[in-house]
């Protein structure tokens, strides 16, 4: 009887895992060296289920117990540009091999930049520990210089056909019409390579490096949006506290700014809600919900985490000075 029960359990376990596979590989930095501590995740294209892992000391990662199907794979590391691989096939009973190589940030891609600066930049990511600071009003103080947020969950945006077509056209034209290359503000959802919050009772100032002009106000004084906001590159931004979470509501974007780094457009119905939470002194957690019935079938939410950059400071960024991009922005 015991033998039969054992065999039944063994067969049942084997059957239950017969439709699962895995993905494994090595994560590398832009110079080709192994990269430990990178965040790797697999998102099931059909169900949206997310499985996460981190690269080990030898750069290896493994995503196991994945139901057979297609997956979007992403890897992120503070200070580096994340990498994405779409529709990676997982077969039952097999392990797919997928190595991932992260890229330099725009700040580190300057002509003539010493490649060793990349490794030096990574070593700076040692966020301090301890409780989050608070203002005299008792609210979490978000002030500080932060590394570019790393996406832990990109959500599942479902762009409508015309928005997809425009993004493809912009990509085919080598981003030649990018506002950022013409010293205009970058995409709505872009932030960094480093950014700074300066918080007071009535205002939060957001300053972003490598952007022009790179700053905007978030009103914390209880005001709402105007009935007809004057369209602006950074939109009209108001914030309110929900416990220890700062909720920032953004509307009124002009029609020239791009939505994201994937070059998608937006309409005048764009509504962005950012939820900031500082769980400790060294980290800032953010949820960004994007709603635009003109470009996406339904709202989607991006989850991000930033590390405090206590040794960094934002230097002046005079974009037109020595701007060499425009002569190369010729498209195809």
15-101: which CATH topology? Immunoglobulin-like (2.60.40)
Contacts for 216 with CB less than 8 Å, ≥ 6 apart: 205, 206, 234, 235, 237
Q: Count, in order, helices (H) and strands (E) of the chain.
A: 3, 18
Give the DSSP letter string of 112-167. T--THHHHHHHHT-----SPPPB-TTS-B---EEEEPPEEEE-----B-HHHHHHH
Spatial CB neighbours of 141, under 8 Å, sequence gap ≥ 6: 132, 133, 134, 135, 199, 278
Structurally, at CATH architecture level, domain 144-328 sits in: Beta Barrel (2.40)
Percent of the chain with pLDDT over 70: 85
Q: What is the tens place of the pLDDT at every residue in 265-297?
A: 999 999 999 999 999 999 999 999 999 999 999
Sequence spans of domains, the chain: 15-101, 144-328
Q: What is the pTM of this model?
A: 0.69
- 106 pLDDT band, cuts 50/70/90, is very low
Q: What is the mean pLDDT of residues 60-75?
A: 94
């Amino acid at each position: 009887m015991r033998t039969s029960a054992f065999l039944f359990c063994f067969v049942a376990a084997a059957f239950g895992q017969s439709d699962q596979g895995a993905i494994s590989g090595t994560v590398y930095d832009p110079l080709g060296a192994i990269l430990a501590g990178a965040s790797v995740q697999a998102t099931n294209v059909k169900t949206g289920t997310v499985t996460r892992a981190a690269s080990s000391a030898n750069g290896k990662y493994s995503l196991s117990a994945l139901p057979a199907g297609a997956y979007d794979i992403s890897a992120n590391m503070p200070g580096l540009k994340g990498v994405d691989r779409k529709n990676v096939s997982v077969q039952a009973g097999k392990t797919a091999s997928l190595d991932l190589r992260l890229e330099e940030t725009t700040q580190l891609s300057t002509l003539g930049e010493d490649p060793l600066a990349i490794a030096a930049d990574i070593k700076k990511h040692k966020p301090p520990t301890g409780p989050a600071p608070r203002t005299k009003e008792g609210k979490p103080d978000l002030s500080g210089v932060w590394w570019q947020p790393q996406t832990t969950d990109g959500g599942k945006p479902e762009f409508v056909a015309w928005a997809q077509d425009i993004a493809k056209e912009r990509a085919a034209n080598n981003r030649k019409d990018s506002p950022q290359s013409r010293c205009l503000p970058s995409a709505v959802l872009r932030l960094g390579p480093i950014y700074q919050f300066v918080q007071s009772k009535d205002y939060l100032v957001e300053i972003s490096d490598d952007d022009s002009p790179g700053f905007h106000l978030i009103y914390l004084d209880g005001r709402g949006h105007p009935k007809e906001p004057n369209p602006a590159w950074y939109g009209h931004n108001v914030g309110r506290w929900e416990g220890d979470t700062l909720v920032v509501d953004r509307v009124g974007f002009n029609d020239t700014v791009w939505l994201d780094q994937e070059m998608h457009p937006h309409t005048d119905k764009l509504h962005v809600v950012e939820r900031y939470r500082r769980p400790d002194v060294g980290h800032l957690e953010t949820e960004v919900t994007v709603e635009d019935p003109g470009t996406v079938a339904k709202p989607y939410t991006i989850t991000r985490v930033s590390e405090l950059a206590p040794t960094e400071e934002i230097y002046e960024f005079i974009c037109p000075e020595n701007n060499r991009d425009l002569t190369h922005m010729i498209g195809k």
